[in-house]
Structure formats: structure tokens, C-alpha cells
Chain A
């Protein structure tokens, strides 16, 4: 203790001459630019995936429908409502938001007399901070979920062109777990999938290494998971929340991964045995995915199912249309064998209308299902197209599957821009490579490259394999000299797709090109060969714009006859599977009804 200790405290008096340090009007104080204040939500960007709701540790966020925001593909129509009585402003919702629609303004004062007002839907309920520019947004590079897809290993172009071996390797367990980890389980994909597969759940099963569960979930909605795991049009991936800031989850490859990991015995164990026999008989015409899915369901319910297939092996277009390098035949065989294991009798090489009559099927069964598919190729009918060396892609693909020699041309021109066109172009490329050592295939399509119907990877891979792809070319004439096809004349297409995605091709005659080739392959539209119906039944049936009219359950105007798959819904495997389930349910309900009314 000293004199200083007595005097020193009085230095505090110097503060009398200082200005106050407190802020005169704290309510007007602007918060820092990254301040985590009140929420904003950009309605243009929000897809209602609910990831914010999932991550909120306070349970402050509820996903609710909002008037004027409809549910659509890739948007649940729900929007997050935040309860400020629970929110702790941790901003995990902002960090995890898949579209970066959710942000926080730096506003922090809000006065209300009604406490319920503090539960609000940002972006919907107008607030004074809606247009605030400052505030917390997710920092650059800050991601709580995986951004990029695990690379799928596949054969190099120069290797794969030499054979029909499958191109894609499939994920290893480690790769699959990593890819599965990226899924945020929002379920937007489930709504998009035609057969509503339990996608987030089977992806979770992969993460957990529970392949039995994964398999069960697959077979709950899709008995063609092996096939779909390879060639599905994977519309699910176009609505995946992860695509907004990175790659969509490789849903198709993950499905394939489960199927790759399990044995046939494991599948039949999970699928189980059919129910006790109902004594009802069903005939199905066409062993494609639609017909066989219905067969699977009906057999499980205890009905006796016979499938009549005109060609030598079941699978429909998946076997006779899709080349082996995309879908190996043993994958088809395994999927079909599972269906056979339920007692479904598949009679191949049996053409209805020739080997057995439709009338007989009607008389000997309780119900008949048409699953004819789209087997006939359309023709362009341009001059010269009646030459025998102008072929149809579906026919050539069928011959290729049957290992028939259709005379591989040294140079070919393919007309068409869809997956079938790519399939035949790449098939021809492989055959040419084997026969002549070089690839000489030109592909011309009406559509411009951005509107090709083919999958982008098909276009990319065809290009890699040496197929020359020319877009916006309208076929004009097949040039025939001395009785031999020498090539195809095309005009440039001027027209563009309108807002409805419709397109009326019109040509610029001044821009003419000649594409050399000794074979021209038409790979344009396809249609059903419905001749087996016969004139009388065709007349009796009700039709709807060229297709058999069916009700929601696939039943035609004839009470004993149902129709399924491509012939009524257009070409798509997974749509056919979904349809198969729907039709089987309708047939089952009617068979049971028939039994009860006896």
C-alpha cells in the first residue's frame, strides 16, 4: 500500500472530459455484412426439398404447402416455415440449402404484438428485410453435402469399340457408399420415378451395407431393377436436389450396385413365394417389361400366368432393341428368371395370331393382357427409301441380338436422333470395326443437338466411338445409282421447337448435303403391330388417338382385355414397369370380383 494506491484511483475523473461511447440510437445500428439475422427465401430457387427442415436441430422449420406454389416435377410445392420461438440462428439451414435459396438478411429488429407472427414463411410472408442486400449467405466453397458424383469407371472408347462387352464397370462397395453418402433423402426423386421406387431408402441401405433391405426395397416396386439399374431413363436424376449445385446422385448406378452385389438365391429368398393358388388363369401377350411386371404381380397373388412371346427369348425391347454393351443378356435373364421362379410360364417362339389365336386365349383364360410394345419401325418414305438396303433400326437391332448376319455395310448413314439411332449407330460401328477395322457411320437427325432425344451420354459415347453426328439435317432422298444405294441427301432444318416443345421441321433447300453410305438405316418413330387383334376386334375396341383406349387400370373397352406398356404409354422401360403394376392391380381386383360374384 502506498500513496499512489490512494491517489491513482482518482485518475478515473479524466473520463468526465470524454464523449460517451454508447450508441445514441442502437435500433438504427446496421449489423455486420455477414450477420445472421432474419431469414429470406428466394421463391424462384426454392424447390421445397426440406433439407433445411431435416438439419434444423431445434425443429424450428416445418415444410408446408403454400397457396400459389403448385407441386411439380422437382419441386414439392412445400416451403419452409420458421418458428422464431425455436430458431437459434445457427444458419445450418442456409448452409445445407440445396439451391442456396435460403439466406439471412442482417436485419435484427422486428416488433410485433402478436407472438404467433414470429412463425412465418420467408419469401411468402412479406417482411421489411426481404430485399436487404447484406446478411449471411453460404460462404463460397462451404458445403455440408457432397457436391460431385463419384466417377463411374468405364471402358475406354478404343477398347469398347472392339466388342459388345459391357462398357460401364459399376461401382465398387466403397465407391457406392461414397456416392450414396451424398444423398440428402429429400424424396423428390420418388415423386418423379414412374414406379415410385423407395430411392432414398435403398440408397440408405447401401450406406448401411444392408443389401437384403436394399433388394427388398427394389423388388417392392420394380422387378426389373437389374435392367433399370443399367438402362433406365432415370428421370429421378433430373429432379434430384443435388443437381442444383453439383451432380445429381447417380441413382441408376446405385440401383445397379445393389443388383450387382446380390446373388440369384438372395433375390428369390427376398422375393419369396407366391400366395396360395386362386385358380384364376391369365394370359399375357408379350414378354417385355410391362407384361412381365404384371406377370410378377399376378403370380405373387396366386394367379396362374402364361406369357406368350413371339420371339425366341423374353425381355422385349430390352433384349431385342438395346445392344449388349449397354445391357448384357445375362442381366435380363436373371431378372426374368426371378419372375419365372414364381411359376410364371413364359412360352417363347409363340406368336399370337399364328401359333395360337387370341380367341383361344380369351376362351381359356379369365383375363388377357396385351403387352405388344412398339416393334415396328417407321419409314421416312422419302424417294428411294423403298430400296432393300434402306433398313429399319429396330429390325437390324433384333437381327444383331439374334446374331444374324444382315450384311454389315462398309459405310452407313443412320437417320434419327434418339437412343435407338445411337444404339444402331454404335452397333454398326462395332460390327464395322470387327469386320473391316474402321468405323464409318454417319448419323443425321432432324433435331438440333440440344434437342436430341438421345441421352447426352449416348451422344457423347457414340462420338467417342467414331460415329459422325450431324444435327438439324432433314432426309430428302436416298440416292440410288445402278440399283445400289450410294448415300443420303439432306437439307438443313430451319425450324425450332416452340414453347410447348413441339416442332414442325422446315427445310432450307439451299443447304444440301450428301452423305455417302451403302446402307441407310431409318431409326425414327416406332409403332405397334396390332394386327393380331384382327379386323373385327379392332372395330369393336375403343381407340384414343391411335392407341387402344384404356381406363386408369389399363383395361380396354373389352372387359376381358387389358393393355400395358409401350403400346399405350410410349417407349420407356420404367414407365412400362409402373404400368405393369397398375394393370396387375386392376386385373387382380377384377379376378377377385369375378370370384366373389360367382
Chain B
């Protein structure tokens, strides 16, 4: 997983908001790409799941990209922020697991839930340590998005795996 080690390196060296934003963008992009790459590998029966996950990540990526292009936040983006231990969770998640050649829906869901769980925590801590402003709002928003998404995935997981009527 070359992407993953790159991520860790990049995070280690960067400490400005813009840099963090870049890494976060990269994280979302790599997740999206991961799901996109996975799409043809899974059976068509469960492809919807992977496609939805890719679309979700794309949505986050779009948000981050739009934010980075805004000029009015340039000053804030230059500010240093306090580094927290939780940053590493990004890189943890960049270690995408090998789901095998034909992962089933349960494996994909388990992976996705793990990723959302970590992302949720990390965005939350980033928001706590970022000065007020659009970036903090963005982190807060992303944290809540990931939380909602994780809850949704857990519900889907319960319904698919535990509740019987699945495929």
C-alpha cells in the first residue's frame, strides 16, 4: 500500500492548515479511488454498495477542494495549528486493507465502518483544535458527516447481516 506510507510521511512534515487540508483531500481521494478500484472486482450483486461508498467520498473531496480554492481563507490556512495525536488516525486509515479478489458485502461494510469510525474521530479533534473560521466549520461538518455515515453503515450492516432479509 504505497499510498498509505506516502500519507504518513506527508502528514509528519506538514503543519499548516493548508497542508492539513491537502492531506485530508488526499485521504478522501485515496478512499474514493480505493472504492473505485474495488468496484469491478466485487460481484455485480453488491456493486451498489461500493459505488455508494465511492460517491460519498467524492462528495467530501468536492467539499475540501472547493474550500481550498477560496481566497478569503488564505490567511487562516497559513496559521499553525496545534498538532494532536489523533492526526495519526488519518494515516491509520490510509492503510487500506487487502479485501481479497472478490470481497463480499459484509467485508466491504466492515472496512467502510472502520474507516468512517476513524475519520469521524479525527475530524472531530481537528475541529476542536482549529481556530474559528470556515475551516473549523468544515472539519465540524466533515466530522458530523462521517458520524452520520458511520451510523448509516452500521444500520445497513445490522439489516444486511443480522436481520435476515439480505442477499
Contact = CB atoms under 8 A, between A and B. Distances in A.
Would A and B touch once assembled, by the CB under 8 A criterion?
A: yes
Interface stretch (B17-25, B29-37, B155-163): B155-163
23 contacts: A374-B165, A378-B166, A446-B162, A502-B158, A504-B155, A505-B158, A524-B163, A524-B164, A525-B163, A525-B164, A525-B166, A526-B164, A526-B165, A526-B166, A527-B166, A538-B43, A538-B44, A543-B44, A543-B47, A544-B48, A545-B48, A547-B45, A567-B167
Interface string A36-58: 00000000000000000000000
A502 B159 contact: yes
B146 interface: no
Interface string B43-58: 1111111000000000
B160 A381 contact: no
A546 B160 contact: yes
Given A446-B158, A503-B158, A524-B163, 15 more contacts: A381-B106, A503-B155, A504-B151, A504-B158, A505-B158, A505-B162, A524-B164, A525-B161, A525-B163, A525-B166, A527-B166, A527-B167, A543-B45, A545-B48, A571-B164
Contacts of B165: 374, 525-526, 570-571
Contacts of B151: 504
B46 to A, nearest CB: 6
Contacts of B47: 543
A527 B163 CA distance: 10
Contacts of A379: 106
A379 B106 CA distance: 9
Given A505-B158, A538-B43, A546 B164 contact: no
Contacts of A504: 151, 154-155, 158
A418 interface: yes
A378 B44 contact: no
Interface size class of B (residues with CB under 8 A): 20 to 34
Contacts of A545: 48
Interface string B104-137: 0110001000000000000000000000000000
Given A504-B158, A546-B105, A570 B48 contact: no
A381 B164 contact: no
B45 A539 contact: no
A506 B161 CA distance: 15
B162 A524 contact: yes
Given A545-B48, A546-B48, A528 B167 contact: yes
A480 interface: no
A539 B44 contact: yes
Nearest to A537: B44
A564 interface: no
Nearest to B154: A504
B83 to A, nearest CB: 29
B150 to A, nearest CB: 8
Contacts of A547: 45, 167
B48 A543 contact: yes
Given A525-B160, A528-B167, A502 B155 contact: yes
B48 to A, nearest CB: 5
Contacts of A530: 45, 167
B87 to A, nearest CB: 25
A168 interface: no
A443 interface: no
Contacts of A348: none
A470 interface: no
A506 B113 CA distance: 13
Nearest to B163: A525
A420 interface: yes
- Most B CB contacts (10 A, CB to CB) among A506, A539, A546, A570 go to A546
Given A541-B44, A546-B46, A505 B154 contact: yes
Nearest to B151: A504
A475 to B, nearest CB: 10
Contacts of B154: 504-506
Contacts of B106: 378-379, 381
Contacts of A453: 163-164
A567 B162 CA distance: 16
Contacts of B43: 538
A503 B44 CA distance: 27
A570 B44 contact: no
A379 B107 CA distance: 11
A397 to B, nearest CB: 14
B114 to A, nearest CB: 13
Contacts of B161: 378, 380, 524-525
Interface in A355-400: 374, 378-381
Contacts of B160: 378, 525, 546
A546 B166 contact: yes
A465 B165 CA distance: 28
Contacts of A524: 161-164
Interface in A538-564: 538-539, 541, 543-547
Contacts of A378: 106, 160-162, 166
Nearest to A416: B162
Contacts of B48: 543-546
A374 B162 CA distance: 13
B148 to A, nearest CB: 11
Interface in A506-529: 506, 524-528
Contacts of A420: 164
A255 to B, nearest CB: 24
Contacts of B158: 446, 502-505
- Most A CB contacts (10 A, CB to CB) among B47, B48, B110, B155 go to B155
- Most B CB contacts (10 A, CB to CB) among A525, A544, A567, A570 go to A525
A571 B163 CA distance: 10
